[in-house]
Amino acid sequence: MHTLDQAHLSSLPSTVVRPGYDRSKVRAGIAHIGVGGFHRAHEAIYTDRALARPGQEGWGLCGINLLPHDAAMAAAMKKQDGLYTVSEMAPDGSHVSRVVECMVEYLYAPDSPEAVLAKLSHPDIRIVSLTITEGGYLIDEHGTFNLKHPAVAHDLAHPGSPQGVFGYLVEALARRRAAGVKPFTVMSCDNLRHNGSQAKRAVVAFAKARDPELAAWIEREVAFPNGMVDRITPATDNAARQKLRDLTQVDDAAPVICEDFIQWVLEDNFPNGRPEWDAVGVMFTQDVSPYEDAKIRLLNATHTMLSYPAYLSGLRKVDDALHDPLFFGYLRGFLDHDAGVWLKSLPGLDIPSYKDKLLERFGNRAVGDQLARLCMDGGSKISGFVLPTLHPILANNRPYHRIAFFLAAYDRYLKGTDEKGEPHTLNEPNARHLLEPVIKSDSPMTLIQLKEVVGTQIPAHPGFVELYLKLRKQIDEQGVVATLKSLDASRESPPSAQA
């Protein structure tokens, strides 16, 4: 078993691909907050590719984690000098394993908040990128930033020793402004519609609560490009970690497994410069909105639609669900008749082919993505991923039975056990406080009336509510599979309106 750190980098097995640049010459020009599996399989891969091009040495990564539960990642990155392996798995079972070398610095904020602030304030850092989860932007369905969040309240009271991401960003921007240093670009890499605009909204709202003049400067001077990111990256559990050790023969404490597909569409709005990502596969565009819309309505929404019904039925792997004709048909129906009808093909993104490719990717046996991962943070995902499709469905009198079934399954999932009585952890890091009444309630109406999660149109639509209640009762009495089998018979619209 090969050791993974800077001293042993040259002795890694020849089967592990290296990017082909001199790491000793690279310095950090990007600070990334939220070092997890997805970032390390996505932005870091494109950056690794770019660093192999001439003149790109100033675009290395400084990884930053802020939260106590990131301690294991911090220990691994420090032990391994920021190095880790990524194994890209194709549907046919073939794979490529590579070592990623672009993270030339790493900081763990709980150990030294000031070191993080100093790094973010340094002129070398020209981009600060983020993967903080969809709910991490603390913006509700009305577009209001949550100034009462504990981390926000703390950081407004103690700007020099922040805990949360917006406290760090705004304090670093304030220091750069005071020192006459150009601001960094803030680049969200989260699966969030208009992710750059959402990041701007959160940062400006925080700054306004601290210092209106600073907020005005940020609005005027700081760029927040929108981007669409895509790569299925399961969490690396112990079984996957051992599988990757056997595969690579590398003793990696933080390996990443992912599919071989990768995509990034990005608005070219980087006043302080950027790597040559366009030369290594990133698609740049003036307006990423239609690409975001397609990806969120199709990939993210389909993942969400699958998650709770399949998990309740006893399945645990995404690929197992996709190889089940019942769940495959359910997702095919959602893509073809619910989400896909509102979308048009775009340059580089043919919608019919994209839908077919999605189902192939979800069924990739070599990746073996976990349904439990998809079940995370449903209270934050539903409004962003599912409601944008439901609203035009209701407005155009189209069938909504699949989404009513999904919400009924979500309500059942929140009771904390699957259909076999096996308990599961409700992993709702951002909306748990909103969902507590639903978790404790015996009435399925509690969820459907929770406007912060399901919006305002559902409770105002008697037909939807009636069908949802019917399906919720049927799930209790007959189970998810039987309910799903009978779903077509539950269509609520007249035949002429059905798709």
The C-alpha angle 396, 397, 401, rounded to 5 degrees, equals 125
Give pLDDT tens digits for 237-247. 888 899 999 99
Burial class (CB in 10 A: 0-12, 13-18, 19+), 395: exposed
Per the document, the length of the chain is 499
Tokens standing for residue 47: 């950056």
Give pLDDT tens digits for 45-97. 999 999 999 999 999 999 999 999 999 999 999 999 999 999 999 999 899 99
Give pLDDT tens digits for 317-347. 999 999 999 999 999 999 999 999 999 999 9
Rg (alpha carbons) of the chain, rounded to whole number: 23
How large is the average pLDDT for residues 389-406?
96
Contacts of 152 (CB under 8 A, 6+ apart): 138, 146, 164, 166, 167, 206
Structure confidence at residue 230 as a pLDDT band (50, 70, 90): very high
Please check whether residue 108 is in contact with residue 254, taking contact to mean a CB–CB distance below 8 angstroms: no
In this prediction, residue 489 carries a pLDDT of 59
How large is the average pLDDT for residues 264-277?
97
Structure confidence at residue 494 as a pLDDT band (50, 70, 90): very low
Structure confidence at residue 492 as a pLDDT band (50, 70, 90): very low
Q: How far apart are CA 402 and CA 240, in angstroms?
A: 33
Closest CA relative to residue 402, chosen from 346, 448, 337 = 337
How large is the average pLDDT for residues 362-376?
93
In this prediction, residue 495 carries a pLDDT of 32
Burial class (CB in 10 A: 0-12, 13-18, 19+), 66: buried
Indicate the helix (H) or strand (E) that contains 150: helix 150-157
Superfamily of domain 289-497: N-(1-d-carboxylethyl)-l-norvaline Dehydrogenase; domain 2 (1.10.1040.10)
How large is the average pLDDT for residues 221-234?
96
Domain ranges of the chain: 2-285, 289-497
**pLDDT of residue 444 exceeding 50:** yes
Q: How far apart are CA 319 and CA 57, in angstroms?
A: 40
For the entire predicted model, the pTM comes to 0.87
The second-level CATH assignment, the architecture, of 2-285 is 3-Layer(aba) Sandwich (3.40)
In this prediction, residue 368 carries a pLDDT of 85
Structure confidence at residue 36 as a pLDDT band (50, 70, 90): very high
Contacts of 148 (CB under 8 A, 6+ apart): none
% of the chain beyond a pLDDT of 90? 90
Q: What SS3 state is found at 318?
A: helix
Q: How far apart are CA 45 and CA 39, in angstroms?
A: 8
How large is the average pLDDT for residues 178-185?
98
In this prediction, residue 496 carries a pLDDT of 32
In this prediction, residue 147 carries a pLDDT of 96
In this prediction, residue 488 carries a pLDDT of 73
Q: How far apart are CA 328 and CA 301, in angstroms?
A: 14
Mean pLDDT for the chain? 94
How large is the average pLDDT for residues 482-497?
64
Give pLDDT tens digits for 190-217. 988 899 999 999 999 999 999 999 999 9
**pLDDT of residue 353 exceeding 60:** yes
Structure confidence at residue 450 as a pLDDT band (50, 70, 90): very high
Give pLDDT tens digits for 132-165. 988 899 998 678 999 999 999 999 999 999 999 9
In this prediction, residue 140 carries a pLDDT of 80
Structure confidence at residue 430 as a pLDDT band (50, 70, 90): confident
**pLDDT of residue 384 exceeding 60:** yes
